[in-house]
Amino acid sequence: MKRKEALFATRELFGDTPCFVTVGLVWLDWGTARPSDGNFHLKTLGSGSSLGLGLALAMPHRKIAVLDGDGAVIMNVNGLVTVGRVQPRNLIHIVFDNKIYESSGCIPTASAYNLDIAELGKAAGIKSVRKVSDLAAFSAAVKHAFDTDGPHFIVATVEPSGEDANTSYSRLNEVEGKFVFSRYLEKIEGRKLREDPIDVRLSIR
């Protein structure tokens, strides 16, 4: 199964769901499948589980998705353990496991040796863990995650895409990305989420 095929097959299920997308070729594939201001591009490997958890707790009425890679998720086991402890019902964490750091020299990750990432999720205490390796199973797992309470942890075994991440996507400005994503959240929530720390009108009197 190719990651891009899996994302295109399930993109309609996401609707307007806010998505944290890990650095690497997942950026390119998801940006092509669902171009949206609701895709927050992470610049730090491993931060997806923590940021996804934070937004899931802040918006418990809304599904929150994390699109991650095997190399990234391994770098923040603490994030998975915390998800297992807090049990956010609305969090969907999808890990695409191609067993290499495809964006940085194709060096093997720990899952290429003796690590089963799905078992890692189970050991962390995450409520719903599924390991899939074909398109039908992946689609069913994603639909199940959107239809039921979680947290959900889906580990999808995929083939390397063979693309060059360093030339395939543009470098995004982190500050700009933060404000674009914040405005997207305000739009779908129908309310203001960020306030200026002081009233500018009062400060100039």
CATH number at residue 95: 3.40.50.970
- pLDDT value, residue 110: 83
For a pLDDT cut of 90, what percent of the chain falls above it? 70
- pLDDT value, residue 97: 94
The per-residue pLDDT for range 66-92, each reduced to its tens digit, is: 999 999 999 999 999 999 999 999 999
0.95 exceeded by the pTM?
no
Segments forming the whole domain that contains residue 35 = 3-203
Phi, psi of 43 (to 5 degrees): -105, -10
Confidence of residue 161 (pLDDT cuts 50, 70, 90): confident
The per-residue pLDDT for range 100-159, each reduced to its tens digit, is: 877 776 788 888 899 999 999 999 999 999 999 999 999 999 999 999 999 999 999 998
For residue 127, give the DSSP letter.
Answer: S
- Whether the CB-CB separation of 13 and 143 falls below 8 Å is answered with yes
Confidence of residue 166 (pLDDT cuts 50, 70, 90): low
Phi, psi of 140 (to 5 degrees): -65, -40
Q: Categorise residue 190: left if φ over 0, alpha if ψ from -120 to 50, beta otherwise.
A: left
Place of tokens 């969907």: 92
Half-sphere exposure of residue 23: CA atoms within 13 angstroms, side-chain side: 17
Contacts of 157 (CB under 8 A, 6+ apart): 1, 97, 98, 131, 132, 133
Domains: count for the chain: 1
